[in-house]
Amino acid sequence: MSNTATVTPTELTAGTWTIDPVHSTVGFAVRHLMVSKVRGSFDTFTGAIEIAEDGTPSVEATIDVKSITTNNAQRDEHIRSADFFDAEQFPTATFKSTSVEADGDDYKLTGDFTLKGVTKPVTMDMEFNGVNPGMGQGPVAGFEARTVLNRKDFGIDIDMPLETGGSVVGDKITIVLEIEAGQAQA
């Protein structure tokens, strides 16, 4: 994990902070028919935040794209198909950080995001929500992050035009992460 990270919140102690999928959400929203948004999430994902002894942070995460849910089984199957994720050939999306920089009271988390076999640099606006002593299993940290991706940058270039103009699915996808990570006690 090579990083050019410059900052980390001081409350995060050195070690591995593992993302708790039970208390975290990997969600998204995309325009539908150009007038509303379809929201969804992924049920299966893993990840960790590694804080080096010098305080340098790094983040790695993996999403099982087959675990997508938009509360519509037919739409979910279409999104898993070659038209969108091609989940049979590319079953996971991954993120590996390259830097974390202060941005006022918040942070910019930058890294390489891979989806459908395409890797692009992505920067997320990240808010650190603090650390709690936890409930007997070690400290727990909270984060929220957001970014907007263009689906066509990742080879999801299906066009579904409407007869009246516009398209069924927008190009911009808003990704919203609500993450709780715990640090196991030695």
What digits encode the pLDDT tens for the residues 73-108?
998 999 999 989 999 999 999 999 999 998 988 999
Q: Is residue 4's pLDDT more than 50?
A: no
The model's confidence at residue 123, banded by pLDDT at 50, 70 and 90, is: very high
Which among 19-23, 129-133, 182-186 has the top mean pLDDT? 19-23
Q: Which tops the pLDDT comparison, 156 or 15?
A: 15
- pLDDT tens column, 149-167: 998 999 888 776 557 666 6
CATH number for domain 15-183, candidates 2.40.128.110, 3.30.470.30, 3.40.50.720, 3.40.50.9100: 2.40.128.110
**β-pair type (106-115, 118-132):** antiparallel
**Nearest residue to 25 (alpha-carbon basis) of 177, 129, 182:** 177
pLDDT at 161: 56
How far is the C-alpha of 132 from the C-alpha of 182, rounded, in Å? 9
Q: Is residue 5's pLDDT more than 50?
A: no
pLDDT at 71: 93
Q: What own/partner pairs with CB < 8 Å and gap ≥ 24 does 127-135 have?
A: 128/9, 128/11, 130/9, 130/11, 131/9, 131/11, 131/12, 134/182
Count CA atoms within 13 Å of residue 116 on its CB side: 15
pLDDT at 146: 97
- pLDDT tens column, 17-76: 999 999 999 999 887 666 668 899 999 999 999 998 888 889 999 999 999 999 999 989
Q: Is residue 138's pLDDT more than 70?
A: yes
Q: Is residue 114's pLDDT more than 80?
A: yes
**Nearest residue to 100 (alpha-carbon basis) of 139, 59, 134:** 59
pLDDT at 8: 55
Q: Report the chain's mean pLDDT, rounded to a whole number.
A: 88
